[in-house]
Amino acid sequence: MRRTSFARWPCSVARTMDLLGDWWTPLVLREAFYGIRRFDEFRHELGIARTTLSERLHRLVEEGLLEKQAYQHEPVRYEYLLTEKGADFWSVLLAMSKWGDRWLASEEGPPVVLHHTRCGHDTQVNVVCAHCGDPVPVEESRMRMGPGYPPHLAERPEIARRFAEE
């Protein structure tokens, strides 16, 4: 069954979900951050079907989040290493983890905590303004059309309303 593609939507959330929109893909990336590199290790850690894992790894390599490197030549076997693009997904996983810790953790607390090795403390990520460093709560922010927004869509009344300043 063919699913709808969001790859060309003028929205980075939609495009990201087009790439990562199933539950296995972020979990494969999570395991890569834990240091898992080989197919059988991913399978063991996730309990994922071979074909599903093979499809996810292929897509992550194709999209440039993982890089495939041979570690054995007869038979050829590969390791999957995070690329710069893949490593940049770390902040997405941390934001998801923070939200899950707040809304889905048990009474005992979060199942995993983030430890900042440089300062030696457990921490959480916070979304802050890259300009002033202040937090960016929804009440104090809004989305605006960026330079890559398609002009033919920007002219539509419902789109103009979405981005209108109040």
CATH at residue 55: 1.10.10.10
| pLDDT, mean of residues 75-104 | 95
In a domain, 157, yes or no: no
Cα 100 from chain centre? 14
> For residue 1, what pLDDT band results from cuts at 50, 70 and 90?
very low
Domains: count for the chain: 1
Residue 46: inside a domain: yes
Taking a C-beta distance cutoff of 8 angstroms, is the pair 159, 144 a contact? no
Which structural domain range is residue 35 located in? Answer: 12-87
Asked if the model's pLDDT at residue 4 lies above 90, the reply is no
What is the sign of the dihedral through the CA atoms of 136, 138, 139 and 141? Answer: positive
Q: Is 48 among the domain residues?
A: yes
Residue 34 falls inside a structural domain: yes
Neighbouring-strand partners of residue 72: 77
pLDDT digits (tens, 9 = 90+) for 109-166: 999 999 999 999 999 999 999 999 999 999 999 999 999 999 999 889 998 888 887 6
Q: Considering the domain boundaries, does residue 33 fall inside one?
A: yes
**Domain annotation covers residue 161:** no
Assigned domain for 49 exists: yes
In the predicted structure, residue 83 carries a pLDDT above the cut 70: yes
Please give the Cα distance from 91 to 126 (Å, whole number): 10
Q: Coil, strand or helix: which one is 75?
A: coil
